[in-house]
């Protein structure tokens, strides 16, 4: 697939009380779960992190934020700048249930004039399990310069194809987009994993 996978692993994990990327589910670290899914789909993986020394074990390009302290938006920017591909699947390191079928489907939905392909779950877009073209870079920079750091801040400037929830049910539905911010979230994820098995 002529696209790259970008994993955002630069968060401070302040609510998690540690680096959540290395929390484990079924004896596998969260970052490994996400990496393995993307590695099965894309020829190139980019990990964006503020602690590059922690991720040298992965066969990926490790980059740091160009604009530090801007959260996931800054990470997306750095990842898109580093990518040699126009299309890029961007996700966070704390989403243990994404699967390669979903990832492939979202990338395949990108038409020539789509700057982004974004799933919608429960009426809300999921910006950190989405596809972005490098055409987004200048608009991300525009909002960063305006001190707007919410990921969706640049959406008004780009062409977005939203993928409705009903199209995603066959891939696993809402659980695909579950992310881990706290220890309680990790406990929920562990229960979800047992149900899957």
As a whole number, mean pLDDT of residues 121-129 equals: 93
**Domains observed in the chain:** 3-196 (3.90.550.10)
- Residue 190 pLDDT > 70: yes
Tens-digit pLDDT profile for residues 34-84: 999 999 999 999 999 999 999 999 999 999 999 999 999 999 999 999 999
Report the greatest alpha carbon distance in the chain.
46
pLDDT of residue 15: 60
Tens-digit pLDDT profile for residues 87-100: 999 999 988 889 99
Mean pLDDT across the chain, nearest whole number?
91
- Give the residue among 192, 188, 186, 193 at the shortest CA–CA distance from 15: 186
Confidence of residue 172 (pLDDT cuts 50, 70, 90): confident
pLDDT of residue 115: 98
Sign of CA dihedral 77, 114, 4, 188: positive
Residue 105 near residue 149, CB atoms below 8 Å? no
The strand pair at 129-133 and 87-92 is best described as: antiparallel
- Residue 12 pLDDT > 60: no
Report the 10 Å Cβ neighbour count for 176: 21
Greater confidence (25 vs 131) lies with 131
For residues 105, 109, 115, 119, the Cα torsion angle rounded to the nearest 10 degrees is: -60
């Amino acid at each position: 697939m002529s696209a790259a996978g970008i994993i955002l692993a630069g968060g401070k994990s302040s609510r998690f009380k540690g680096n959540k990327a290395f929390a484990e589910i079924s004896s596998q670290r969260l970052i490994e779960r996400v990496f393995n899914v993307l590695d099965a789909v894309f020829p190139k993986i980019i990990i964006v992190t503020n602690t590059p020394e922690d991720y040298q074990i992965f066969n990926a390009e490790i980059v740091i934020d160009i604009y530090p302290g801007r959260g996931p938006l800054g990470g997306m920017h750095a990842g898109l700048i580093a990518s040699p591909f126009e299309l890029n699947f961007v996700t966070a390191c704390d989403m243990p249930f994404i699967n390669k079928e979903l990832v492939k489907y979202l990338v395949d939905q990108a038409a020539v004039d789509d700057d982004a392909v974004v799933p919608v779950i429960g009426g809300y877009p999921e910006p950190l399990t989405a596809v972005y073209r490098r055409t987004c870079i200048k608009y991300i920079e525009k909002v960063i310069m305006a001190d707007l750091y919410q990921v969706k801040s640049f959406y008004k400037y780009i062409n977005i194809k939203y993928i409705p929830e009903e199209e995603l049910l066959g891939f696993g539905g809402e659980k695909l987009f579950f992310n881990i911010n706290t220890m309680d979230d990790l406990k929920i994820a562990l229960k979800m994993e047992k149900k899957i098995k």
